[in-house]
Chain A
Amino acid sequence: MQIANANRLTPYLFLAPAALVMTVALLYPIGYMIYASFLDWNPSQRIGEAEFVGLRNYINLLSDAAFLESFFVTLKFAAVVVSIEMVLGVGLALLLDRNIRGMSVLRTLFILPMMIAPIVVGLMWRYMYHPSVGIFNRTLKSLGFEPIPWLSDGSWAFASVVIADIWQWTPFIFILSLAALQSLPQSAMEAARIDGATGWRQIVYIKLPLMMPVLIVTLLLRLIDAFKVLEVILVLTNGGPGLSTEILSLRISRTASEFRELGEAAAMSNYLLILLVILTFAMFAYNKAVEARTARLRKAAQEGS
């Protein structure tokens, strides 16, 4: 009895150090941030000196036009980039899922953008978007078109950061889709060909439905990431012109460093955190639902046989 108990405790004993480190390294900062969001806290004060203001920061933010604007920009940015990236990534995967010579080289090339550090991507695109010496405007000029105010006009600036993000993150969706495609049951695909589904119809009726579980998880992962975007936009536009590209992470960093409102910045972070937690739970819930369904089907099959 004693030994059995000890045996059952062993795994927890071994996990304890890791759990401790996790708690300190992960929960402490989060707890700190949550606590800070209830303070009116100026960076020149120590945290103990800051005044406790309850939910005031949260309530203030709800009527803060600049915060709402930046929240909206973030939503718009995430929605636009993820939609376009999904279409392009899945489309490319469908296009390149064949065994032609040179295809593996092509696939590798498509994955490269994802591997570049975001800061570098930002710098690279900033040079390309440069109003006079950037490749885009030079090309336009040599073709006899007007130059485009890539980063200096509100709408164009938004489009520019969207394009840079798509360039960098479409590969992510591409490789996951390609992996999903290549693990589809080959014989079902052949059966579909014999049944008369070729080209588009095979994609619509067989491939996409079978890829759907992977696509949904990919979409949620990408969405979570898109809400946290920072570096590329920081380098490209730093949120401007005006507030046209000021996504939440930028707003948070400015609130903390420029406006010196640590409490408010923490409250903003928590709003973002809540959004991300909802998305993450959506993803887990979806995975659980899929697992439960598979288990139910398997059980039914065993009963049927």
Chain B
Amino acid sequence: MPRIVFDQVSKSYGAVEVLPPFDLSLDDGEFTVLVGPSGCGKSTTLRMLAGLETVTSGEIYFDDAPISKLDPKERDLAMVFQDYALYPHMNIAKNMSFALRLARVPKAEIETKVQRVAEMLNIAHLLDRKPAELSGGQRQRVAMGRALVRDAGTFLFDEPLSNLDAKLRGKMRAELAEMRDTIDKNMVYVTHDQVEAMTLGDRIVVMSDGLIQQQGSPEELFKSPVNTFVAGFIGAPTMNFVDGELVEEKGTLWARGDGFALPLPEEAGARLATAQDRHVTIGLRPSSFTTDLTRGAPIELKVVVSEYLGAQSVLVTRCGGAEILVETQSAAPVRAGTEQAFGVLTDEIMIFDKTSGLRL
């Protein structure tokens, strides 16, 4: 279980630089999730780590040993692919034991290992079948099993759940989360789905356009995103962004926009004093609104649509020219088409620079 360090690693395909030089270190035994929209370079990063792509410059270290020139098999890792990449001509047992057979592990040992992992993943009754005889969910488990049997130091996952239907994906996500706690290995997991990232990751690395935007625990990313990209990417429903400005009145700093003015807490006010009178982007999470008016600063919103999701409802509302999503308990029903007063939890308000998008 090595500590993995990317040192100024970059990747270009011909003249196109898809990943400018970046640094990244992944701690021993950590479950790291690389998350970002499609095409941002997550797979490329993972594949360089796996040795399936060369690095254009820089170096990757496993515990201070440079490995970027090593063959994939010399890196002691196992990988689960998005399309599972099972060997179509081998049955499930052969698929799972392929690496061990190549490594000339004794037959009896291979058998016990395969059996153990197959039972853990509930695929023991499928061992004689060919991959083509399995359903998508079963193939996914086999792919997982093939990686687990290896007992490698590092596990890599490239969007392993994205080919499953929503229900199965939720189930596998929960199983993975459970597995994460029982298996003490380095795991690097790539996904474009922030829910997966939030449920699975000890540490999340948010990427966009080949750049690492921010890394941290799920809570850090949710509570203190460094820019509008991370703030908008993490959390569902997504954060509301409204244009506005910061003004001082009677010793309090106010975030004022079209149709509302929200007082900022003292501590934030002190931090943002230098940004006074600037045009900013005000970030409000849908969960920062409450129908309990005694708890937050008042704001008037015109409810356009109410999306009932069960215990929760998401309200699509208007405030001046902006559209604002509000998450409420369904127990306090709100009728569409009405003006309604809400409270905003002011210590959850985030202020971003309007041009750079950076958090102020």
Contacts and interface: CB of A to CB of B under 8 A. Distances in A.
A185 interface: yes
B137 interface: yes
Nearest to B89: A209
Interface stretch (A27-35, A168-176, A186-194): A186-194
Contacts of B134: 301, 304-305
A197 B73 CA distance: 8
Given A193-B72, A198-B73, A301-B132, A185 B85 contact: yes
Interface stretch (B76-84, B177-185, B330-338): B76-84
A201 interface: yes
A297 interface: yes
Interface stretch (B96-104, B215-223, B284-292, B303-311): B96-104
A59 interface: no
Interface string A191-207: 11111111001000110
B103 A196 contact: yes
Q: Size class of B's contact patch?
A: 20 to 34
Nearest to B80: A191
A210 B78 CA distance: 22
B48 to A, nearest CB: 13
Interface string B121-138: 000001001101111111
A206 B87 contact: yes
Contacts of B148: none
A192 B138 contact: no
23 contacts: A187-B81, A188-B88, A190-B52, A190-B81, A191-B86, A191-B146, A194-B99, A195-B98, A195-B146, A195-B150, A196-B99, A197-B73, A198-B73, A205-B98, A297-B132, A297-B133, A300-B132, A301-B132, A301-B135, A302-B135, A304-B135, A305-B137, A305-B138
Interface of B: 50-52, 71-73, 77-79, 81-89, 98-99, 102-103, 126, 129-130, 132-138, 146, 150
Interface of A: 185, 187-188, 190-198, 201, 205-206, 209-210, 212, 294, 297-298, 300-302, 304-305
Given A185-B83, A198-B73, A301-B134, 12 more contacts: A185-B85, A187-B83, A190-B79, A191-B79, A194-B99, A197-B73, A197-B98, A198-B71, A209-B89, A212-B89, A297-B132, A304-B129
